[in-house]
Amino acid sequence: MFGDGRAGPVRVMGVDPGLTRCGVGAVEGRPGAPLSLVAVGVVRTGADEELGARLVGIEAGIERWLDEIRPDAVAVERVFSQHNVRTVMGTAQAAGIAILCAARRGLPVALHTPSEVKAAITGSGTADKKQVGTMVTRLLRLAEMPKPADAADALALAICHVWRGGAQHRLSQALSRATRRNPTR
């Protein structure tokens, strides 16, 4: 915290889970201030690999990112029901690996829905991938849109968490102060 009560910059690593391409991106900043890109990329596994090997590959990739980035928190896309059960299962498995890796290090993990992220980044919960990528590019003052879309989505998750996490933290602090002033008996 700064002396005036504002929260200091936070480094958040976003994970857009997937078995073939798991988007990973990190930003640093605080609500109401410009954000900075830390890193962006993807962890890839081969579609022809056995499931266990793919999950081990995702774990190793996320662990490398955590070692290099050293985030304060991790934001993972909350898996929602899709029509293709096979796709949703792979996404959920990759999300579980990301959550496990962060939890193993004692890092706070937040799950954000795709519509929550879209609304935070673009103002519309129904924005398409191009709109999200365009706003991520603008918000981070990048020369070009991060590719593939999984990488841009991971940055969007991280940005959403910095912005929403700050508001959630302030709300939590206010509730804590109110509870101390008016304890229930």
Q: Which of 63, 128, 150, 153 is catalytic?
A: 150
Q: Which of 48, 72, 77, 153 is catalytic?
A: 77
The residue among 30, 131, 19 whose CA lies nearest residue 73 is 30
Return the sign of the alpha-carbon dihedral for residues 132, 138, 139, 142. Answer: positive
Cite the beta strand spans of the chain per DSSP E.
Answer: 10-16, 21-29, 36-44, 73-77, 109-112
pTM for the model = 0.85
- Tell me how far the alpha carbon of residue 153 is from its chain's centroid: 8
CB 82 within 8 A of CB 174: no
Question: To the nearest whole percent, how much of the chain has pLDDT over 70?
Answer: 84
Q: Which helix (H) or strand (E) element contains residue 87?
A: helix 85-104
Q: For domain 10-176, is the CATH number 3.30.420.10? A: yes
Residue 16 is among the residues annotated as catalytic for this protein: yes
97-121 pLDDT, tens digit each: 999 999 999 999 999 999 999 999 9
134-179 pLDDT, tens digit each: 999 999 999 999 999 999 999 999 999 999 875 554 544 455 455 5
In DSSP terms, which residues pair with 109 in a beta bridge?
A: 74
User: Exposure of 16 by Cβ count < 10 A (0-12 exposed, 13-18 middle, 19+ buried)?
Assistant: buried
> Which residue did the predictor score with more confidence, 168 or 85?
85
Residue 77 is among the residues annotated as catalytic for this protein: yes
